[in-house]
Chain A
């Protein structure tokens, strides 16, 4: 260990660290633009200049290794002057177009202008003009005038995404970020440069101009695009999800997420195909009914079948809580042994960065909580065979568009009863007799277990008819707090949907089951007592970074891919 002094305070730190790392570990933030914990050191922004005793000049904290006895000053007059000088330099050619810049509100340059700048400029010449609205790739837009040449995006593309297509051309204050000829920034992780960019130079072509950041609420969640379960934030304005951004979790996704997960896992939440309220098939057409009627219809129909004629298909998209209550309903209340889950694996669509071939967020969780055949029960293959043979006459499906798989769609017409939980209208709901409109991952509490066996929490970011942002503890934006009733924000589009665990629990009650759960946490607490792998876990322990289950050696990747 090395003993160092920072601003008069003594610390013992790992001698391998740089000053900026050691300071960060002690909770001291040395301002910086170009340095990033997961990228190589560039040392170009000069914002982290600090005074180190016995060094003739100020040194950059990002590239200076600590040494025993080192005395560092991060707030001396010399340091403050240098910092103000760097801020002044950075701003002289910056367009200062914050009012029309997407980054405003989450911009490092803007924040530091308040924290470390004198507040005015002595520059009174024409600014250098550079290219704007450059399509750097299919998903990222570049404004070179806003760029401060920190090279974070260049280093990310080279070092993390392994697609070295970005570079600088020209010299001096004419430097331009660009792609090499005949290349574009189109790797599967390209959008991470948007958060890495400390200014508004790199923006999302999907999100651009959709919202000021302070109009949105941000809620900690988990991506449901694959078995990685990247930690995310869901950004919501007027009850509509506008974007997802990655949230740091060193055990899962570091600071990153893939473009696919970022762009294609939230739009269904806002989709016009969302179901609002339950449906029952009447005279061959799905008809909107009340919850009580739908539950009564499901129960009365289920009662007409023998236990062995019924089967349940859980969901690798639904939460552990949903799957747990569902399998209790199937196995204990309805009494069938035929319970399984449909895997969704895209062979080959994976890499050694984040992306997993298993395109569901909770396959391991679903099986761990009991969505698997009971002793002597039919597995998925057997269930489908049973439907084809006529042995299985009623099927209860949780949050999975199984009819989108042609082999399954082919046998479904043989069924006499198909009950479906779904948040959107899809091929499976079209064939169903009873449809329960369920909440999406963005509208409920719950947990998902990723391929590593890490249980991670999701939280509601979008409210349904039953919920109220203020009363139910949602994260709130300025608009949520201050919009008046006659604002658009005061009249959000809310859907009539319920979490699957609540629906399954209600069906079970109607069938005579005794257990009732009030919250997802109630369900989790019961899981923690009944399922060995969850022993000792609680929502508190899972926290925002997740917790490992002591799962049986059976993991998703070792499960044979079901070919049906």
Chain B
């Protein structure tokens, strides 16, 4: 399959090049359809969100109220901050107009007249690139009032985050957008009822939205046949760690993890064996290197293997990797990024990290292994948003699959040996 999200076309980020290769054709086509037909097309395509939860996109769109006096909003989530994940950045850089076109189609389908593209604060360079692309799209009347001479109008606003991982959580993103502190909101109400500015809102990931023009151009049947049937379409996989060719690779869903590592990413450096793989960004449960056979990059396969697709950020660790150090670093990340709003995550993430540091220094006690698991279990499922879960899962999985690594770091007990009387 040829790349469709990130095709190998030089200067595709320029609007005339994009147009030359069929750009904004899907928008024209969509505007000739009824909005609900567009939604239906996306629904039938089985497109599932690429932001981590794999939620059916078309279904999400139908949650938006049709009869409402309030304005509706679309938020395109480009806060990409999960360690190991760097795919949306490629879209901002190499195919920004695909994202803009998808955004416009989504707005049309849901009757939205304002869309926000929320980009993480650290992506300064890519914010500028998106701003340039958006200005070009405005200049050509693809965005703004009476798009392409139709009665449909939509404004797109690019919003730069201020550097907090939590603002990628959809409700914290909305608070951040409103100028409030980046605290996740208690759900329900869900964004489709009460979202940005208290109005119905849909939040979709950058990559998710970038699939939409292709679905409209080629039809849902074509799309639904790409990759894994229940989780179809192209997927951007970011591979990092001990591989020869780290990078973002576009592929159909359902590619075996070992093929991703060996065929796409050029195999493990120096031909070493794989100790462990984190398949979907740092929060997804770690997999043992000897358990990778048959594990594929789609929701069902990953779930069966005891992990998740997440944001398809594959972190490969070779046989010499100190997993305790890896986990300590991951624990530190979630501790640093916990927003501090609700108790279990605010207090638990720091505690987990402090215990991990003991393991890192080989100063832990045997009981600390169970304590670690207990704290992780006490955080998981008891918080306002999924950050608590994201902090707990890597620890739970590591303890489940690499308990021996922890045991090795327990400080040896000083044992008093009865020596008996020696003359």
Contact = CB atoms under 8 A, between A and B. Distances in A.
Nearest to A91: B347
Given A86-B382, A92-B351, A171-B164, A46 B343 contact: yes
A131 to B, nearest CB: 15
B181 interface: yes
Contact of B186 (A60, A89, A123): A60
Contacts of B383: 46
B338 A43 contact: no
B343 A148 contact: yes
Interface in A78-94: 81-82, 85-86, 88-90, 92-93
A90 B382 CA distance: 14
B340 A170 contact: yes
Interface in B328-368: 335-344, 346-351, 354-355
Contact of B342 (A44, A88, A168, A170): A44
Interface stretch (A135-143, A172-180, A333-341, A445-453): A172-180
Given A41-B186, A123-B351, A172-B349, A89 B344 contact: yes
Contacts of B188: 63
A45 B342 contact: yes
A414 interface: no
A275 B347 CA distance: 56
Contacts of A88: 378
A41 B378 CA distance: 23
A92 B383 CA distance: 17
Interface in A90-141: 90, 92-93, 122-123, 125, 128
Contact of B343 (A44, A57, A122, A174): A44
B186 A43 contact: yes
Interface string A31-50: 00000000001111111010
Contacts, number: 89
Interface in B186-207: 186, 188
B267 to A, nearest CB: 38
Given A46-B383, A63-B186, A89-B378, A172 B335 contact: yes
Contacts of B335: 172-173
B7 interface: no
A378 interface: no
B294 interface: no
B371 interface: yes
B345 to A, nearest CB: 8
A43 B342 contact: yes
A167 interface: yes
B338 A46 contact: no
A216 interface: no
B347 A173 contact: yes
B340 A174 contact: yes
A541 to B, nearest CB: 43
A47 to B, nearest CB: 8
A170 B166 CA distance: 13
Contacts of B342: 43-46
B381 interface: yes
B384 interface: yes
A116 to B, nearest CB: 13
B351 A57 contact: no
A79 B173 CA distance: 31
A58 interface: yes
Interface in B290-339: 335-339
A90 B342 CA distance: 10
Nearest to B345: A172
A85 B382 contact: yes
Contact of A172 (B181, B340, B381): B340
Q: Count chain A CB atoms within 10 A of each CB in B181, B346, B349, B381 and give the residue with the most.
A: B346
Contacts of A43: 186, 342, 384
Interface in A168-200: 168, 170-175
Most chain A CB neighbours (cut-off 10 Å) among B343, B354, B384 = B343
A46 B340 contact: no
B354 A125 contact: yes
Nearest to B354: A125
Contacts of A149: 340-341, 343, 346
Nearest to A148: B343
A201 B378 CA distance: 26
A175 B340 contact: yes
Given A46-B344, A122-B371, A125-B351, A82 B339 contact: no
A85 B378 contact: yes
A123 B350 CA distance: 11
A58 B382 contact: yes
Residue among B335, B336, B351 with the highest chain A CB neighbour number at 10 A: B351
B344 A168 contact: no
B242 to A, nearest CB: 30
Nearest to A56: B381
Given A89-B348, A128-B350, A45 B343 contact: yes
Contacts of B337: 171-172
Interface string A297-308: 000000000000
Contacts of B164: 171
A171 B184 CA distance: 13
B393 to A, nearest CB: 15
Nearest to B165: A171
A175 B164 CA distance: 14
Given A44-B341, A57-B381, 11 more contacts: A46-B342, A57-B382, A58-B382, A81-B378, A85-B344, A85-B378, A90-B343, A149-B343, A149-B346, A170-B340, A175-B346
Interface of A: 41-47, 49, 57-58, 60, 63, 81-82, 85-86, 88-90, 92-93, 122-123, 125, 128, 148-149, 167-168, 170-175
Listed from nearest, the 8 A-B pairs whose CB atoms lie closest are: A175-B340, A85-B378, A89-B347, A43-B186, A172-B338, A125-B354, A173-B350, A44-B342
Interface of B: 164, 166, 181, 186, 188, 335-344, 346-351, 354-355, 371, 378, 381-384
6 contacts: A43-B342, A46-B343, A89-B346, A171-B164, A171-B337, A173-B347
